[in-house]
Chains A and B, each alone.
Chain A
C-alpha cells in the first residue's frame, strides 16, 4: 500500500475560501491528522453542514457528504451506526452547530457515538456575509447586523462538557501543530470527541483575528481528567482556553 500523506486526503480542488481564512488551517490539520493515524481515505466519511466552513467536505479526499445547515451530526451519526468500521467526522461553523443545529450537537454528544465533531468558530456567519452568530460576544458588531449583540455568546466548550462528552478540546487555526495533534487525539478517542477551532474570518471579522487569538487564548493548565476543574476553568475563562479541556478516563 502506498504511504499515506496529507496529499492522500486532498481531492485536488482549490478551495473557494478567501485568502487567509482560518478554515484552510483546519482542512490542512484534518488531512495531517488522518495521515498521522494512517486511516485509508476510503474508510473515512466526513459530513459537513452549510456555511463557508461547510465547504470543507468537498476538499477532502474521502467519502464526503455536504449536508444541510446544522444537520451534519445526525447524518454522521447515521453513517457511524450503520458502519462502525468507518472513521466519521462532522464539521461545520459556529452558526451551524450552535444556532440551527444546537439540538443535534447536544444530543449527538450525549448519545456518544464514536464521531469527531469539529467546529470552525469565527464568531459570525461567513457565508451569508457577516451576521451575528450565537457565540458572538456581547457588544460585538457584525457587518450584516445594525446593532451590536445585546447578549452574551454561548460558551461552546462549557455546553459540550455539560452533555457528558468524553473528549473536549479547543485549538486555534493559526497554531497548526497543536491543532493537528488535537484532531489526531480526537479521532483516536473512542467516543464522541469535540474540537472547537478558533478559525478567523478575515473578511468580515476584524475583532477575532489571528492576533486576537494569540493574545486572548491561553493554554489550559488544569487537570484535563477532572470534569469539575474543566467546567470551572472553561467558565472562568469564558471559553478562551486551548488544549485538551477534558478527557474522560
Chain B
C-alpha cells in the first residue's frame, strides 16, 4: 500500500500547518509516513504544498501522481493540475470552479470555514474532509489540531475544531478508507522526524555542547533546535558563516564538542575555516544541507550539487572526511561516527546531507546513540587551562620548533605526517541493498528513498548502493562490490554529474557507468528511477 495525499495551496494560508497535522495524525494512527514540504522562498504567497505518503512499511519517497489532491487557490491548482493521473481523486475548493466529475469534487472549503468560524480556517475544513475520506476518527485529528494550535489560545482552538467538524460533514458520500495499518507497525515505538531534527538530536546525544550559525534553509532548524537545548551563550547566531565556523573552531580548540550546520552558500564561506581547522588539527563537524545553486539558486529546492565543493574542502590539500548519510536512521548512526572521526583524527568533518533529507519527515524506529567512543577519543586532547602543556597552533605550516617554517624538508615531513593522521578508508562506508547482479544503482542522500522503492520492482536483477563516506573514498570496498555487477546507474541530483565524476575518477570501467540527472528542484521519484532502470536493462 502506498497512498499519496497532496495538499496544495498558497504559502502562509495554512496548508503547511495542516500538512504537518495530517502527517502526525497518520503516523500516530500507525502508518509509516513520509511528508515532503515544497515551499517558496518568500513568507506569504507563492506555491506551497505538502505531500504525505502513507504506507505499511518504511517509505522515503514521494509519488509521481497523488492519489488524492486537495487544492485551495490558483497557486496550487496551476502547479499541480498536471500531476493528477486518471486514478487521482481531486478535492478542490469551489472558488476554483472546476467541472465536477467522477474524479473531481468541488467542495466549499472556504465558504464552510467562513460559516463555521472564519475564512482563515479553510485548510482545517479541508483537513476534516480528508479525515472523513480516509476514515480517520474525528478525535484522531482533533488531538493534533489542538496540540498544534496550543499556543494560540482557547478561542482559536475552538474555532478550528468547529471548522474541522464542519469539514467532516462536508462530503459524507466520499470515502476512500485506508486499509488499517498492520498490527505490527501500530504497536511499535516509532517516531516521525525530519533529518534536521535528527541532526540536532543526534548531535546532542553525541555530547555536542557548542554551535554557531547563520540562518539558511534547510539548516536553520538544526541551529534552532540546538539553541533551545544548549545553555545560553553556547548557540551563537553570528554575523556570517565565517564567524560561525571560526567561533566553533575556537570553542573546539578549548575543548568543546562543536558542530555547525549550513547550506551551500554558507559552506562556501566556511571553506576558509575548514582549512584552518584542518591545518590546526581542530575537531569540528560541519553539516551541509545541499540545496539548489549556484549562488542563491532556488533556495528552498532540493539538489545535490555541493559534492565537488565538499570533497575539495578548501584550497590546499585539505583532506577533511566527508560523510554522506542516506536516511534519517543513518543520520543517527553516522553523525556519531563523524564526531568520532573528528576527535580521533583531529580534523574537521563534513556531514553532507540534502534538502530532501533535512526537511522531509519520515516515520522511523528510534536509534540509540552511544557517545562513549567520542568521549574516549577526546580524552588526552590537550586544551587550554592545563598547566605546563602550552602549545602553539597555526594556519601556517609549523616546523619542529612549533613556529612557522618554510624549510622544504620540514614542510614535506610535517605535512605528510598531518595527512597520514587520517586513514585511507573508514569503516561502514556504504549501505548495500542486495537484489541482483545485472545492475547496480548508485545514489546518495535522500535519493535512496526513490531508489529503494524502484529496485523493489526488479527482484533478483537490480541492487543498489549508497555511499556513506565520500572522503576518504572507499575505493577498495566499493571495487569489490562493483565487480559483482554488470552495469552501474548513477543518479545525480545536479546538472554536471558530480557523483558520476567521483566514481569515474576512482574506477576505470567508464563504459559501464550510465547516469541520469535531475536538477529541477524536485527529488528523483520512484517511478522515474524504475523507468531508468528498465531502460538500462533493456539496452543490455
Of the stretches A20-28, A59-67, A130-138, the one at the interface is A59-67
- Per-residue 0/1 for B383-400: is the Cβ within 8 Å of any A Cβ (1 yes, 0 no)? 111111111111110000
Which of B248, B249, B402: most chain A CB closer than 10 A? B249
When distances are taken between beta carbons in the complex, the residues of chain A under 8 Å from B466 are none
When distances are taken between beta carbons in the complex, the residues of chain B under 8 Å from A76 are 250
B251 within 8 A of A: yes
A78 and B242 contact, CB distance less than 8 A: no
A79 within 8 A of B: yes
Q: Please, how many angstroms separate the alpha-carbon atoms of A216 and B226 in the complex?
A: 51
Number of contact residues on A: which range applies?
35 or more
Q: Please, how many angstroms separate the alpha-carbon atoms of A103 and B214 in the complex?
A: 14
Residues facing B in A56-80 (CB within 8 A) are 57-58, 61-68, 71, 74-80
Residues facing A in B261-288 (CB within 8 A) are 272-273, 275-276, 280
B236 and A79 contact, CB distance less than 8 A: no
A42-B386 CB under 8 A given contacts A75-B250, A78-B248 = yes
CB nearest to A50 among chain B residues: B395
B384 and A45 contact, CB distance less than 8 A: yes
A63 and B384 contact, CB distance less than 8 A: yes
When distances are taken between beta carbons in the complex, the residues of chain A under 8 Å from B272 are 68, 71
Residues facing A in B245-261 (CB within 8 A) are 246-256, 258
Number of contact residues on B: which range applies?
35 or more
Q: Please, how many angstroms separate the alpha-carbon atoms of A65 and B395 in the complex?
A: 9
Kindly identify which residue among A41, A71, A107 contacts B273, using a CB–CB cutoff of 8 Å: A71
B390 CB → nearest A CB, Å: 6
B234 and A81 contact, CB distance less than 8 A: yes
A74 CB → nearest B CB, Å: 4
A-B contact pairs, 23 of them (CB 8 A): A13-B403, A41-B390, A58-B402, A58-B404, A64-B391, A66-B392, A66-B394, A66-B395, A67-B246, A74-B238, A75-B249, A75-B250, A76-B250, A79-B384, A80-B250, A81-B234, A81-B251, A83-B254, A83-B384, A103-B240, A104-B242, A104-B243, A111-B236
Kindly identify which residue among B251, B258, B384, B396 contacts A66, using a CB–CB cutoff of 8 Å: B396
A47 within 8 A of B: yes
Q: Please, how many angstroms separate the alpha-carbon atoms of A47 and B388 in the complex?
A: 19
Q: Please, how many angstroms separate the alpha-carbon atoms of A165 and B536 in the complex?
A: 66
- Per-residue 0/1 for A78-113: is the Cβ within 8 Å of any B Cβ (1 yes, 0 no)? 111111011000000000000000011011000100
A43 and B254 contact, CB distance less than 8 A: no
A116 CB → nearest B CB, Å: 15
Q: Nearest 3 pairs between A and B by C-beta?
A: A78-B250, A66-B394, A63-B384
B251 and A107 contact, CB distance less than 8 A: no
A13-B395 CB under 8 A given contacts A82-B250, A103-B240 = no
Q: Please, how many angstroms separate the alpha-carbon atoms of A222 and B244 in the complex?
A: 38
Kindly identify which residue among B210, B388, B389, B401 contacts A78, using a CB–CB cutoff of 8 Å: B210
Q: Please, how many angstroms separate the alpha-carbon atoms of A75 and B252 in the complex?
A: 10
Q: How many A-B residue pairs have CB under 8 A?
A: 138
- Per-residue 0/1 for A105-128: is the Cβ within 8 Å of any B Cβ (1 yes, 0 no)? 011000100000000000000000
CB nearest to B388 among chain A residues: A42
When distances are taken between beta carbons in the complex, the residues of chain B under 8 Å from A191 are none
When distances are taken between beta carbons in the complex, the residues of chain B under 8 Å from A153 are none
A31 CB → nearest B CB, Å: 14
CB nearest to A12 among chain B residues: B401
A40 within 8 A of B: yes
When distances are taken between beta carbons in the complex, the residues of chain A under 8 Å from B401 are 13
Q: Please, how many angstroms separate the alpha-carbon atoms of A58 and B397 in the complex?
A: 12
B390 and A78 contact, CB distance less than 8 A: no
B243 and A62 contact, CB distance less than 8 A: no
B389 CB → nearest A CB, Å: 7
When distances are taken between beta carbons in the complex, the residues of chain A under 8 Å from B394 are 57-58, 65-66
B233 within 8 A of A: yes
Q: Please, how many angstroms separate the alpha-carbon atoms of A187 and B405 in the complex?
A: 31
When distances are taken between beta carbons in the complex, the residues of chain A under 8 Å from B256 are 78, 82
Q: Please, how many angstroms separate the alpha-carbon atoms of A213 and B355 in the complex?
A: 56
Q: Please, how many angstroms separate the alpha-carbon atoms of A58 and B404 in the complex?
A: 8
A129 within 8 A of B: no
A82-B392 CB under 8 A given contacts A67-B276, A75-B249, A107-B243 = no
Apart from A63-B390, A65-B393, A79-B384, what are 12 other A-B pairs with CB-CB below 8 Å? A43-B384, A45-B254, A62-B390, A64-B393, A71-B272, A71-B276, A74-B212, A78-B210, A81-B233, A81-B234, A103-B240, A104-B243
B188 within 8 A of A: no
